[in-house]
Amino acid sequence: MQQLYDIPEEELLAEIRQLRAKLDDKVLILGHHYQREEVIGFADVTGDSLKLAQYAAATPAPYIIFCGVHFMAETADILTSDSQTVILPDLAAGCSMADMADDVQVRRCWQELAEVISPDETVTPVTYINSTAALKSFCGEHGGIVCTSSNCERVLNWAWGRREKILFFPDQHLGENTALAMGVPESDMIIWDPAKHLGGNSVEAIEKARLILWKGFCSVHQLFKAEHAASMRQQHPGIEILAHPECSRAVCETADFVGSTEAIIQYVAKAPAGKSFAVATELNLVNRMRLHNPGNKVYFLSPTICMCSTMFRTDPQHLLASLKEVEAGHVAHPIRVPEVDQTWGRLSLQRMLDLA
């Protein structure tokens, strides 16, 4: 692997193009929106994690190279057939948010809830798609469901239609911002801190709560502040603030538009020329939006760089290494979700897809 870093960039990129053409339909390269430009340029399909996983499931390609992070490749492995292999170019490409809720913690939470209520009768577990396969499996097993940033409201309505309470993990902010936009009062919500018994809550608070929000967050979106929006408005009168719902409540409340990655992309793309936007989401995506919308001004909301460091781990060298492995017939870094997690995880994902 190290020797690939000694190859001049132009030669490296040329070798990727040559090998990609040689492998043809044997390989599908997926590129998440947050990938660096020199990687996403080789993607056959770009998009958010669910869109890419669904595309993988719909293709006959035997090898899926997922330029994203670990939980995304797991979702693709759950949805694809046994004859397909999902490859993550760099196994160190994880997700700090997904790491904030693991299977052990969530099962312990469920047990602690049972000290107060009957969770299997009163609580619907909902996991954001930015979570491990084990947590998607947990939701499938316990009558729960997966959500994305674009369908969260629909999923919450479905979950409350089944049981009176929701346990939402791993991102506190997506659940909170969506519920507030739905008119759910703050008094109906509590925060569950997995480091504390009963999540740091009283018995009375748990009994009263309709929405139990896991204490987790995206390290990138957490860096945006409401004062950044105020500063942008002062510098650029008339500018619109666009925020991803993983941002804090304070940022979302000051934003002109709150939406998923795809929704933000479309919002800017459909805007008339001459508009200005400050966007609170990952830097690589904001830079790409700036390039694709030359008629408008697109700014990054934060004065400091907020880049997804784990997404950035996938570089052209890792992509080339994955292609070389496929060509040689022995695949490195395949993502294999255990069968039991595949079964339950597929069920929780299917419940979400059935709501579309």
Q: Tens digit of pLDDT for each residue in 93-132?
A: 999 999 999 999 999 999 999 999 999 999 999 999 999 9
**pLDDT tens by residue, 281-310:** 999 999 999 999 999 999 999 988 767 888
Q: Give domain status of residue 157, yes or no.
A: yes
Following DSSP, what letter does each residue of 243-272 receive, concatenated?
A: E-TTS-HHHHHH-SEE--HHHHHHHHHTSP
Give the single-character DSSP code of 89: S
Residues 209, 253 share a domain? no
Closest CA to 304 of 225, 234, 247: 225
With respect to residue 190, please indicate whether it lies within any of the assigned structural domains: yes
Q: Which of 220, 234, 2 is nearest to 96 (CA)?
A: 220
What CATH number does residue 73 fall under? 3.40.50.10800
Q: Angle CA(172)–CA(180)–CA(214) in degrees, nearest 5?
A: 15
The reply to whether 23 and 109 lie within a common domain is: no
105 and 212 assigned to the same domain = yes
pLDDT > 90 in the chain, percent: 92
Using CA atoms, how far apart are residues 98 and 119, in angstroms rounded to an integer?
Answer: 23
Q: What is the reported pLDDT for 1?
A: 64
> Is 7 a domain residue?
yes
pLDDT score at 339:
96
Q: What SS3 state is found at 41? A: coil
Q: Quick: pLDDT tens for 21-79.
A: 999 999 999 999 999 999 999 999 999 988 999 999 999 999 999 999 999 999 999 99
Residue 32 lies in a domain: yes
Q: What's the mean pLDDT when you consider all of the chain? A: 95
Give the pTM.
0.95
What SS3 class is residue 27?
Answer: strand
* Residues 256 and 271 both lie in one domain: yes
Number of domains observed in the structure of the chain: 3
Q: Is the pLDDT of residue 311 over 90?
A: no
Of 218, 236, 271, the residue at which a domain comes to its end is 218
**Do residues 118 and 42 share a domain?**
no
Question: In terms of domains, do 205 and 233 share one?
Answer: no
- Residue of 241 and 309 predicted with greater confidence: 241
**95, 325 in Cβ contact below 8 A?**
no
Which structural domain, as residue segments, surrounds residue 105? 98-218
Residue 305 domain flag: no
| Structure tokens that stand for 183 in this block | 């008119």
Higher pLDDT, 310 or 232: 232
